[in-house]
Each structure stands twice: as C-alpha cells, then as structure tokens.
C-alpha cells in the first residue's frame, strides 16, 4: 500500500475523517465555507485583527495583557536584533546560549520563587523535554485527562508509563496514586489553567495527595503566568508555590513573545538541562524573543493593574453569557468557553459570529471531548468596554437572548 493513500483519502473521501476521530472532513468544511482554521490575519493590533481587509474585534487571542503591541516590548526586540542578529543558529548546548537567555532564566526563577529555570524554544518542546528527561523505565506519570497535548505527547515519548485520572477529580487522582508501585518514581502532571475551558486545577488537594504518596508535581501554567496569582501563576493563586516541584510556563501568551521555560530546584533543572533532547537538539530561542519576554515581565511587575483589568473583563463577559443562558462551564480566567456540545452546531455559530465581525476560535473533537464542542473566547487587558458590549450584542442576537 502507498504510504500517501491515507492523505488522498483524507482530502477526497468525506467519510474518512470520521475514522480518524474527527467529526467532519476539513476539505468538505472548506468547500462549505465553514472551515475555521488557518485563517490568515493581515494585521493584528491586539484587540482588532484584519481578515481580507475587514477589521474585526478579536476575542480569540492568548495575548492576555495586550503586550505584543506595547512599544516597550517591540523596542526591546528591535534592540536585540541589532545586537545579536535574528538567530542564534545553534542549540543552547553549543553556540546558542546568549546572555539574554541566562538573564531570562534568572529573572523567572526569582519571579516564581524557585532556585533555577531553563528556557526552551517553545512551550511544546518544554513539556516534551521535561517529561522525557525525567521519566525513565519503571517511572510513572499521572495525568489529568484534559491535560494539554504537549504533556500527553511528552508522556508517551518518555520511557515511563502514563496513567490518567478524571479531570480535576482529587478522589480519582488518589485512586491512581494508590495503585502505583512503591518503588516507582511518580510525577503528577496537570495544567494550572486548562486551555480550552479556562478552569483551574485544584492544586491544594493535588499537593496534599502528592505529599501523601511521595509523588512530585509538575504544573503546566502556560495560561496562568501573567493571569492568575497576581501574575505569578496558579500555584501562587492557591498559596502552594513552594509545594509545586516544577512550574512550566510559556512566553507566547501573556508575555507577548515565543518560548517556554521550566522552573524548580537547581538539581532538577541541572538534570533536565543535560538530558532534554528537545533542548539539546533544537536551535535556541531567538534573542529578540528573549528580550521581548524580559520587557514583558518588567511591565507585568510594574503594572499589576493589567492583570486586574483582564480578569475583570472576563468576569463581566461570563456574566453576560450566563444571562443569555449560555454554558461557560467552570471558567475562572480570561478563557471563557461557550459550550455548544454538537460539533457542527459549534462551527455554525462560529461562522455566524465571524460574519458578524467578531474573531474567535472553535474547538471540536478531538481537541475537546466528544459532546463538548465549544467556542473558545478569550479576553485581553486592552479590550474596551465598548468592544465588549459589541461582542455581547453579537452573541445575544445570534442566540436569541
């Protein structure tokens, strides 16, 4: 059989997508004008984007603090290009570490109250590197069923065994931990803020169970850093920062750049630094991105009102949607899902919202569980009250509220 036969079928056979766990064929959706992905943005000014010359209010970005367009962040990136050029052209292990990388690591370790930190080129590579470096044969990683794909993939690629527990269910987590052999090294891995529905992991209960069963804890706080805990993340939100062994974060959301990092004890970071293949064999984070992240962190520390503003805006929008009878789940962050259930109905609502001048995202299986297709709306500190009223009016008119 030709290896590419499945590619031809995926493009031309509408029924083939369902065998892959997808509710519909992307090619068919594209022909119907209902394809919601890979839409080129001609301009992106934070709260407003331009698509085919049309300006739209954006509620589909992870730019939570609105810093990608901040002139201080842009100037820092420009200065770094002038000093270091556009790329390091090598891995962190060899010629790819510049002074900005170490400064970024030291600053984030201090910001999160950890001994050390390590910067990767992307957040995805961070989780792959951390998990594959730490988990050897006989080790176990215990994952929330709704963890980010990078945790799932890192767990699968490691030499350890992955076990899963029901989403945000401490009693089920304890059931899994109780079943782990006493001689196994155990790592519990959870999102701090879950990226599709914006709910928080129950970290106090998770920490308690990790202590009880001798497990280590990794919190992926890609969507929490800059948003929860006055900016310091979900562990800080719950007051358990010292009890979380490893905090993973990214620079590509609230911190207006690209890249990922992990912070923790010096010995753990030293081990990961010398064992993480996704770090050792990848070209390092461009200096301009490191400089932008440093500038964003300075703004975050000096202007905490940005964190207040984005959370206030999200709270107000959750209230609007609930008044309309829409299901926003257990969102407690700037990620506010509008849970529809049926995938096709979710895509149709996305298209109607898009045609009404509001840019957002739609998530369908397998990105979300079956029966939980949703519009993933997300909010930014620079969103104006007027923009939010316009968005609320669009949803009210389309949902008959």
Which residues are designated catalytic?
Answer: 195, 223, 253
Q: Which two tokens stand for residue 210?
A: 């990790």
Residue 338 backbone zone (phi > 0: left; psi -120 to 50: alpha; other: beta): beta
- On whether the CB atoms of residues 307 and 300 are closer than 8 A, the answer is yes
Measured in residues, the chain has a length of 401
Distance of CA 100 to the CA centre of its chain: 24
- On whether the CB atoms of residues 262 and 222 are closer than 8 A, the answer is no
- Integer Cα distance of 158 and 118 in angstroms: 19
Largest interatomic CA distance in the chain: 61
Burial letters for 339-362: b for 16+ Cβ neighbours within 10 Å, e otherwise? bbeebeebbebbbebbebebbbbb
User: Tokens 């934070």 correspond to what residue?
Assistant: 46
Q: What is the DSSP string of 33-91?
A: T---SSPPPSEE-SSEEEETTEEEEE-----TT-GGG-HHHHHHHHHHHHHH-S---SB
Give 250's DSSP letter.
E
Residues in contact with 175: Cβ distance below 8 Å, sequence separation at least 6, in sequence order: 165
Residues in contact with 147: Cβ distance below 8 Å, sequence separation at least 6, in sequence order: 189, 190, 191, 220
Q: What is the DSSP string of 79-140?
A: HHHHHH-S---SBTTTTT--HHHHHHHHHHHHHHT-SEEEEESSHHHHHHHHHHHH--TT-E
């Amino acid at each position: 059989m030709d290896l590419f036969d499945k590619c031809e079928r995926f493009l031309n056979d509408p029924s083939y997508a369902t065998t892959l766990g997808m509710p519909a064929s992307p090619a068919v959706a594209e022909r119907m004008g209902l394809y919601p992905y890979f839409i080129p943005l001609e301009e992106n000014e934070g709260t407003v984007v331009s698509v085919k010359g049309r300006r739209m209010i954006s509620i589909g970005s992870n730019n939570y603090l609105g810093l990608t367009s901040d002139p201080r962040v842009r100037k820092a990136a420009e200065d770094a290009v002038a000093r270091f050029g556009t790329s390091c052209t090598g891995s962190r292990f060899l010629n790819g570490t510049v002074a900005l990388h170490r400064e970024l690591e030291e600053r984030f370790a201090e910001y999160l109250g950890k001994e050390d930190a390590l910067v990767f080129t992307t957040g995805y590579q961070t989780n792959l590197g951390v998990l594959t470096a730490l988990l050897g044969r006989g080790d176990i990683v215990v994952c929330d069923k709704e963890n980010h794909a990078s945790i799932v993939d890192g767990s699968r690629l490691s030499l350890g065994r992955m076990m899963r527990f029901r989403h945000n269910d401490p009693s089920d987590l304890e059931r899994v931990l109780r079943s782990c052999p006493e001689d196994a090294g155990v790592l519990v891995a959870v999102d701090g803020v879950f990226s599709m529905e914006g709910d928080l992991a129950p970290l106090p209960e998770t920490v308690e169970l990790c202590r009880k069963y001798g497990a280590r804890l990794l919190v992926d706080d890609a969507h929490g850093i800059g948003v929860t805990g006055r900016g310091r993340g979900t562990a800080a939100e719950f007051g358990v920062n010292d009890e979380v062994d490893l905090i993973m974060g990214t620079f590509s959301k609230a911190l207006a750049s690209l890249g990922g990092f992990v912070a923790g004890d010096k010995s753990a970071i030293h081990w990961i630094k010398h064992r993480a293949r996704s770090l050792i064999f990848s070209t390092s984070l461009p200096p301009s991105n490191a400089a932008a992240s440093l500038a964003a962190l300075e703004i975050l520390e000096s202007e905490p009102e940005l964190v207040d503003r984005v959370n206030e805006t999200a709270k107000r929008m959750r209230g609007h949607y609930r008044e309309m009878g829409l299901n926003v789940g257990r969102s407690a962050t700037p990620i506010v899902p509008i849970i529809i259930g049926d995938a096709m109905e979710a895509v149709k609502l996305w298209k109607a919202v898009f045609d009404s001048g509001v840019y957002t995202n739609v998530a369908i299986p397998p990105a979300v569980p079956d029966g939980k297709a949703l519009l993933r709306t997300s909010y930014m500190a620079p969103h104006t009250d007027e923009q939010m009223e316009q968005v609320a009016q669009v949803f009210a008119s389309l949902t008959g509220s």
